[in-house]
Amino acid sequence: MTNVLSELNNKVLTITINRPDKLNALNQATLKELNAIIDHAKDDDETAVIIITGAGEKAFVAGADISELATTDAMTGMKFASYGQSVFNNIENCGKPVIAAVNGFALGGGCELAMACHLRIASDNAKFGQPEIKLGVIPGFGGTQRLTRLVGKGKSMEMNLLGDMVSAHKAEQIGLANWVVSQGELMPSVEKVAQQLAQSAPIAISMTIDAINKGLECALPDALDYEVKAFGICCASEDKNEGTSAFLEKRQAEFKGK
């Protein structure tokens, strides 16, 4: 793979969108490579946590590849948007925590990619935005939907209709970024969080992600019922026995994902 790089270290898989000359813009080839890596990672026992970032300091992902968009008609546009959504849904529902390390521009498809991740840690030079309106289109990879769920209808309307960028600190204020660190501290901070997650109980982590994602799709009574069932699954695991024993014995738990 040339557009997307990956490196596994201590159960943390770091995925880097590697098109710095294009500000890491997403074209179809890049999406396919990213999806293939996620498909492998979600079934890989050696991968506990995934980090997604962009090559260089200028951009996480600056959007879709405009040269491809310029030649897109209605049918090819729908196919491209549908495929992009499927890739981002795969990330959101892969069952393992995914952290976006947002360095620089996260615009259009880049903002949508970050929102598909479970946590977003941004460097202080990061800029978020959905500028598609300025190209005569709307977000196609989930921007109208995930942004609304993260920041609310009013702020989502503002960002999607005006197409303006927001700073990293503004993104943190409105709930789009979880927190902001200096550029030099971005990857060390992300890796620290990743290691904390990697030491947690894999089944409980997966069930937490699943319950939150599914709960957003249904009425509260159904969501609460799903949580009850997920809680029961965790209670039947060896990890629950290890976690409770470790707490009572005042030692560090060693979870096995069983």
Catalytic residue, candidates 33, 112, 172, 191: 112
Whether residues 132 and 210 share a domain: the answer is no
Domain at 17, CATH number: 3.90.226.10
Residue 256 maps to a domain: no
State yes or no: is 132 an active-site residue.
Answer: yes
Give the structural domain span for 237. 202-248
**Predicted pLDDT of residue 242:** 86
- C-alpha–C-alpha distance, residues 234 and 239, integer Å: 8
| 194 shares its domain with 219 | no
State whether 90 and 160 are in the same domain.
Answer: yes
Q: Are residues 113 and 212 in the same domain?
A: no
Spatial distance between the Cα atoms of 101 and 49, rounded to a whole number of angstroms: 13
Which pLDDT tens digits describe the chain residue by residue (258 residues)?
A: 789 999 999 999 999 999 999 999 999 999 999 999 999 999 999 999 999 999 998 999 998 878 788 888 899 889 999 999 999 999 999 999 999 999 999 999 999 999 999 999 999 999 999 999 999 999 999 999 999 999 999 999 999 999 999 999 999 999 999 999 999 999 999 999 999 999 999 999 999 999 999 999 899 999 999 999 999 999 999 999 989 998 999 988 889 888
Q: Tell me: do 148 and 118 sit in the same domain.
A: yes
Are 125 and 174 found together in one domain?
yes
CB 24 within 8 Å of CB 106: no
Q: Catalytic: 112?
A: yes
Alpha-carbon gap, residue 202 to 113, rounded angstroms: 23
Same domain for 225 and 134: no
129 and 217 both lie in a single domain:
no
Residue 151 counted as domain residue: yes
Q: Which of 197, 193, 186, 151 is nearest to 172 (CA)?
A: 151
**What does the angle CA 139 – CA 142 – CA 147 come to, to the nearest 5 degrees?**
90
Q: Work out how many domains the chain is built from and give that number.
A: 2
Query: Does 106 lie in the same domain as 65?
Result: yes
Residue 11 lies in a domain: yes
Whole-model pTM: value is: 0.94
Q: Does residue 113 contact residue 62 with C-beta atoms inside 8 Å?
A: no
Residue from 33, 132, 172, 191 carrying the catalytic annotation: 132
Coil/strand/helix, residue 63:
coil
Question: Is 23:58 a contact under the CB 8 Å cutoff?
Answer: yes
255 domain-assigned: no
Question: Do 194 and 238 have their domain in common?
Answer: no
Residue 187 — φ and ψ, nearest 5°? -65, -40
Same domain flag for 243 and 166: no
Q: Kindly state whether residue 61 falls inside one of the protein's structural domains.
A: yes
Domain boundary (178, 198, 218) is at 198
Beta strands in the chain (DSSP E): 4-9, 12-17, 49-54, 59-61, 98-102, 105-107, 119-123, 127-129, 166-167, 179-181
- Residue 129 DSSP SS3: strand
CATH no. for residue 217?
Answer: 1.10.12.10
Same domain, 194 and 167: yes
Strand partners, 119: 99
